[in-house]
Amino acid sequence: MSLYSQNTAIVVNKQSLRISAPTHSSQFTHYFSVASNSKNDSQRRDALSFLISHVSSLPANNQLPLPTSVLLPKLLPLILDGSGSVRTQLLKLFRLFPKNDIAERIENSLLYIRAGMTHLSLDIRKDALAFLEWLLEVAEEEVVGCAGGWFKVLKCFMSIMGWAATTETSKWTFAIKATFPKAGKAYPYQLLVFSKFLKAGLIESEHVTRLAELRRSERLNQSISIFPVVDSHFNMIPTVSNAYAHLNLFGKPRDEEGEAYCDRKARQRVFNNYFLLDIQTGVKTARKDGGEIGRAAAALDEVLRKGMIDYIDSE
């Protein structure tokens, strides 16, 4: 009896052996490429986990291995990723990025967030609201003041909650609940984020309020010193550039959806003309549900009251 053994060989076309380990910067670049390009869910998730651990371990005020201007364009599409764990890790990573860098690229971020808010998947829609909530924490003034940041996001909220009057009938209905029965579970969270968004756009922050009070007191002191010309500040040179932009005297026809509404009065005007009545109807209906939905609707109603209490329709 004879035994025969057959040798097997593993052939490696190219092999490189190095004494030194790869640098942290090269590892970061590698895992960033995996996170943004891999077609495997677990690989994208694990790569994002490595990026999170690497960024969180950096000393304070240290720069990232790659600039945010390079990272964000590649990572933002993951807001629409089909894997929930990938989206969760992505939000954790974004929270570690410098706030100033995020504020400078709000428009690109909102582009993917709006796409997520109107996605067919309920989970992606809910996570998109979490990304919007994070943006409001980082740079709320930039979110509501950038091009399309006010009108288009409001339209997305109206869409996901079904808060729009139909043209065929005067009755107002929860269209989204009828189409997506599970959407009712996410409804309180939608109301919560919507309240934060409206608060950022319609209610001035404490810092802005203090500055306005300081300016008013300065004008009052100036008026007293030159009595009886007490309204002299109305005849002075405007303190802002293009003070009469709202008249659009020489501009092209307006694209109201894509326009940037940088001041509160402009946002109030658009909100009053296109959204206020439907939202008031929706809030009234939601408050009747009671429970968590009713409490969230009551908070939203309070934001509406404070945000529009001083609005005067000049049209």
Please give the single-letter amino acid code of residue 300: L
CA distance 183 to 173: 14
pLDDT of 157 reads 96
Q: Can you list the alpha helix ranges (DSSP code H) found in 38-75?
A: 41-56, 68-75
CA distance 16 to 71: 29
Q: Is the pLDDT reported for residue 12 higher than 80?
A: no
Q: Is the pLDDT reported for residue 72 higher than 80?
A: yes
Q: For residue 123, how many other CB atoms are within 10 A of its CB? A: 14
pLDDT in tens, 32-55: 999 999 999 999 999 999 999 999
Comparing 141 with 60, the larger pLDDT belongs to 141
Q: Is the pLDDT reported for residue 106 higher than 70?
A: yes
Q: What is the model's pTM?
A: 0.80
Lowest pLDDT segment from 127-136, 167-176, 229-238, 244-253: 167-176
Comparing 211 with 170, the larger pLDDT belongs to 211
User: Band of the pLDDT at 178, cuts 50, 70, 90?
Assistant: very low
Structure tokens at 68: 């945010």
User: Band of the pLDDT at 179, cuts 50, 70, 90?
Assistant: very low
Share of the chain above pLDDT 90, in %: 58
pLDDT of 92 reads 97
CA distance 41 to 86: 7
* Residue 260 backbone phi and psi in degrees, to 5: -95, 120
Comparing 6 with 130, the larger pLDDT belongs to 130
CA distance 135 to 107: 11
Structure tokens at 240: 């802002």
CA distance 303 to 294: 14
At 147 the three-state DSSP class reads: strand
Mean pLDDT calculated for residue range 77-104: 95
Q: How many residues does the chain have?
A: 315
DSSP state of 247: G
pLDDT of 114 reads 97
Closest CA to 136 of 167, 113, 158, 159: 113
What Rg, from alpha-carbon coordinates, does the chain have?
26
At 260 the three-state DSSP class reads: strand
Mean pLDDT calculated for residue range 269-282: 94
Mean confidence (pLDDT) of the chain: 83
Q: Can you list the alpha helix ranges (DSSP code H) found in 95-145?
A: 99-103, 106-117, 122-145
Q: CB–CB of 301/192 below 8 Å?
A: no
Mean pLDDT calculated for residue range 16-38: 83
